[in-house]
Amino acid sequence: MSLDPDLATALVEPSELPPEEPGRLAVFWRRFRRNRAAVFGLVLFVLVVAAALLADVITPGDPLRRVAQPLTDPFTNPVAPLGTDQLGRDILAGLMHGARVSLMIGVVATLISVGIGIVIGAVAGYWGGWVDDVLMRFTDAFQTVPSFILLLALVAIMGASLESIIFGIGIVSWTSPARMVRAEFMSLRHREFVEAARSLGQRPVATIFREILPNALPPVIVFASVIMATSILLESALAFLALGDPNHASWGNMIGQGRSVLRSDWYVAVLPGIAILLTVLSFSLMGEGLNEALNPRQKK
Amino acid sequence: MRMPPILAYALRRLLQAVPTILIVMVGTFLLMQLAPGDMVDALVGDMGGADAAFIARMRQEYGLDQPVWVQLMRYMGKLATFDFGWSYVYEQPVSTLLLDRLPVTLALMAASLTLAFVGGVALGAWAGRHAYSAADNLISTLGLVFYAMPNFFLALLMILLFSIHLGWLPVGGLRDIAAFHTGWRLWLDMAIHMIMPVAALSLIYLAFYMRLMRSSVIEVSELDFVRTARAKGAPEGRIMRHHIMRNAMLPVVTLLGLQFATVLGGSVVIETMFALPGIAQLAYNSVIRRDLNTLMGIVFLSSLLVIAVNFITDLIYARLDSRIELR
């Protein structure tokens, strides 16, 4: 999942094209399709999204309520096709509603972290000089605190609601996008089209948002898939330690609960574990496919 | 007299760390300020309430009536001397508590990172040399799966297999308390207890370094200086060791430094799961028991560790890459 710095320059090209030119999109799709693993990732991702969307249709009602005898084995009771945990909760319902919570956390936390990253990276990269120095020392400092430990501290202070967890994950993961946006701005700020806008008297804020940002964004969007995967992992680790929001279904929490019955009923912990594994795998595979499709110069 | 360039480089790197540490200190202070209630509230709560005059006197005694910036200066002065305050949960100074717990975490980190680095570089180099063979495909696919695996799930699967089904390895703890081992038996016992935690923490990074090393070896193998060495008739083993490995390892070394913080964060889950008495498990306990002084001590100490490790990897990088300017 490492991202090539060359990616940036490769990505600038397609984004500058007007959207009504479908040819490039077809080319992109053809390149993406060539990587079978990436297509598999896309299929996995679509399945997870479908599970999240259909959660209320297939498994209606509160996923945290008791539906059957505790520790029913999978495939034995049609009420709970994948069995129940030690509190008699439907595992399938937990998986589907958990997909919804995981994706929601992934998307919102990523938006927060990319948002902060864009503001800090853009300001540092556009102005440079002492502004850049100050902001980058600040970013360095943030990066030296292990993100999971900082997240623990934030949750300890703000409480373990879903909102504060999402906010916390956003706060601990903005440094990489900030560095990326900064690097893009550094390389773009002296380009002709930027100089032209500046000499026409455009204000800095307008130049940043209208001229540079659209060109700096594509690599950040690809990197967002990495942040989304990390966000899902961070939340599941918190929930596994029973530090998550107890009012929502969560894969990590299901694994944590299943740990105490691992000896007799391993499926309680293993099924949600596979769900996390496949979701994160789908992001990795798609990210790699995107990288290859958008950066054809890189040898396979 | 001029300093050797590597020393001057090291000195400059150390100086660069100073503002970073100062910012972390301020950040830690701000987090403490954000927390609802201060130390006196906690103390008074423990005592079951007190009258207003007494509370005011205590605030004065602890300097909590001073302006924020005075408190900040004091706090930074204390952190600089490794005084992290008193843990009201463990009834001892936080610094003593951390010092007691540090060896376990350092051992876990050192073993995990060594395994991840050596294993990742070796497997990745092998896969890169035999790119697109069946074995390479298998290694690469496994690497991808491990990389997507949450460490606590991997740990759980290992417990299921090696402790529950096979009965080979202990489920947790640092030693077998009932056995009363001494001397080398005790060390062996502790090593056995560390096998699963180390594996659970490192396999994910091993997979990551392996993938990185593999693509790095493929990339470097096609560069001109490798072709030149081959044209000169250098033996293949020498080309691999001196030309390819040395250069292909560079991105892995950089990443090792950058990811140390993530591995340290990941050890919170692993130490807690395997009941290892390190600082990461302490972080979890202090969240559960609302011991903010200890938690902030850990935040500060762990960022110092990360800075130290990055400093060391920078020096290794400078040694490995002769092109790098020592600036």
Instruction: Give the tens place of pLDDT for each residue, A223-248.
Output: 888 899 999 999 999 999 988 888 88
B157/A contact by beta carbon, under 8 A: yes
- Report DSSP letters for A113-134, one per residue: HHHHHHHHHHHHHHH-HHHHHH
Helix, strand or coil, per DSSP, at residue B273? helix
Q: How confident is the model at residue A37 (pLDDT cuts 50, 70, 90)?
A: confident
User: Are B153 and A233 a contacting pair at CB < 8 A?
Assistant: no
What is the pTM assigned to this prediction?
Answer: 0.85
Which chain B residues in 36-65 lie under 8 Å from chain A, judged by CB atoms? 36
Angle subtended at Cα B17 by Cα B13 and Cα B22, rounded to the nearest 5 degrees: 165
Measure Cα distances from A169 to A6, A52, A159, A163, B45 in Å: 28, 21, 13, 10, 31
Measure Cα distances from A193 to A103, A118, A121, A183 in Å: 38, 20, 20, 18
Q: How confident is the model at residue A114 (pLDDT cuts 50, 70, 90)?
A: very high
Report the residue of B105, B151, B156 to disrupt the A interface, i.e. the one with the largest count of A CBs within 10 Å.
B156
Measure Cα distances from B176 to A2, A8, A201, B70, B163 in Å: 41, 54, 74, 49, 14
Neighbours of B273 (CB within 10 A): 24
Spatial distance between the Cα atoms of B151 and B262, rounded to a whole number of angstroms: 12
For residue A155, the distance in angstroms to the closest alpha carbon of chain B comes to 8
Q: What is the CATH superfamily name and number for domain A40-298?
A: MetI-like (1.10.3720.10)
Instruction: Give the tens place of pLDDT for each residue, B51-90.
Output: 788 888 877 777 777 788 888 888 888 888 888 888 878 8
Spatial distance between the Cα atoms of B306 and A12, rounded to a whole number of angstroms: 34
Instruction: Give the tens place of pLDDT for each residue, A57-108.
Output: 888 888 888 777 777 788 887 777 888 888 878 888 889 999 999 999 999 9
Spatial distance between the Cα atoms of A67 and B314, rounded to a whole number of angstroms: 57
The pair of three-digit structure tokens given for residue A67, joined into one six-digit string: 């539906």
Q: What is the dihedral of CA B113, B116, B117, B118, to 10 degrees?
A: 120
Spatial distance between the Cα atoms of B33 and B208, rounded to a whole number of angstroms: 38
pLDDT at A116: 95
Instruction: Give the tens place of pLDDT for each residue, B152-210.
Output: 999 999 988 888 888 788 877 777 777 677 778 778 888 888 889 999 999 988 988 88
Q: Which domains does chain B have, with CATH numbers?
A: 16-83 (no CATH), 100-320 (1.10.3720.10)
Total CB pairs under 8 A between chain A and B: 146
- Report DSSP letters for B93-135, one per residue: EHHHHHHHHHHHHHHHHHHHHHHHHHHHHHHHHHHHHTTTSHH
Phi, psi of A119 (to 5 degrees): -60, -50
